[in-house]
Amino acid sequence: MESVSPIISSSSNKTLLLTLEEWNGSSPTKLSKTFTIKASSSSFSIQRSGARFTHVWRRFLQAFVPEGFPSSVTPDYVPFQIWDLLQGLSTYIRTMLSTQALLSAIGVGEKSATVIGATFQWFLRDLTGMLGGILFTFYQGSNLDSNAKMWRLVADLMNDLGMLMDLISPLFPSAFVFIVCLGSISRSFTGVASGATRAALTQHFALQDNAADISAKEGSQETVATMIGMALGMLVARITIGHPLAIWFSFLSLTLFHMYANYRAVRCLALNSLNPERSSILLQHFTETGQDLDHLFSFL
């Protein structure tokens, strides 16, 4: 919201003074002056307020944080997002390494490779992944909401396994199709579980019925993390190309960090919905301490 307010006044010596002010803010109650223009018959001046930088920074943040932040989200939103973005960065870097290995395995850059052969192998890989996602949804779809923390960890572990399959596929040419299909199935579980648990967590973070806004801003954060991760991944892939030990060291190190970041992310969550596991923890803690349930929710 921007407002420009002209003020005209006259001094004792009859000199006409014109003052033009610009105010910026998200609402009429949150306005700050960004600059002032003063003009008279004998002078002209522009004064910029230090609040202008604050306004620009605030407008920039609006693309990445929900409206009304931080009061519009739960206290665990920020630490979770930090660890989530860090684990995302490690994933995108490793994706470049595993994709490089996968393309090498299907014959990219080799004269003996055929287009139809590579296309068929890629088709089988995608097809098995789609079927795996459907089967996983059929068996576990209704269980994802109540166990968001567990399935979030499972999803990322399955993603790690899928990328590992892609990375080792060049080592076993005779079993290449089988290995990449297993990796695709593993990643399909990740897609279903992470998407469903993310929806449940978004509802948890929303304090002002702003789940859609939180989801949109999370998409912006993810886009930035993706671009940074892909750039770093290309750099790592270029540095390690032709050095198998360096590739494996980079991949395994990033995988360990990815697992740690995911663990820290779910540890940040303070969910206030009950499932069998949390109910059991609450009842056990209640019998031991006798504390009321409102206090016990913070124990989770």
What digits encode the pLDDT tens for the residues 5-31?
545 454 455 555 667 766 665 556 556
Least confident of 73-77, 170-174, 231-235: 170-174
- pLDDT for the residue numbered 8: 47
| Higher-scoring residue by pLDDT: 24, 300 | 24
Report the mean per-residue pLDDT for the chain.
80
User: For residue 278, which phi and psi values (nearest 5 degrees)?
Assistant: -70, -35
Q: Return the domain boundaries, the chain.
A: 2-61, 77-269
Topology adopted by domain 77-269: Growth Hormone; Chain: A; (1.20.1250)
DSSP 9: E
Which of 159, 149, 137 has its CA nearest to residue 265?
149
Cβ neighbour number for residue 266 with a 10 Å cutoff: 19
Least confident of 38-42, 69-73, 120-124: 38-42
Distance CA 101, CA 169 (A): 7
| Higher-scoring residue by pLDDT: 223, 8 | 223
pLDDT more than 70, % of the chain: 74
pTM beyond cutoff 0.85: no
**pLDDT category, 120, cuts 50, 70, 90?**
confident
- pLDDT for the residue numbered 49: 57
pLDDT more than 90, % of the chain: 34
Contact 181, 120 (CB under 8 A): no
Q: What's the rounded mean pLDDT across residues 224-237?
A: 92
- pLDDT for the residue numbered 69: 84
Q: What's the rounded mean pLDDT across residues 48-72?
A: 73
Taking 60 as the threshold, does the pLDDT of residue 287 lie above it?
yes
209 dihedral zone (left: phi>0; alpha: psi -120 to 50; beta): left
**pLDDT category, 53, cuts 50, 70, 90?**
low
**pLDDT category, 273, cuts 50, 70, 90?**
confident
Distance CA 147, CA 212 (A): 22
- pLDDT for the residue numbered 288: 76
Taking 90 as the threshold, does the pLDDT of residue 228 lie above it?
yes
- pLDDT for the residue numbered 10: 47
- pLDDT for the residue numbered 284: 78
71-79 — which CB contacts under 8 Å span 24+ positions?
71/207, 72/206, 72/207, 72/208, 72/210, 72/213, 73/205, 73/206, 73/207, 73/210, 73/214, 74/204, 74/205, 74/207, 74/270, 75/270, 76/205, 76/268, 76/269, 76/270, 77/205, 77/214, 79/265, 79/268
Q: What's the rounded mean pLDDT across residues 204-222?
A: 91
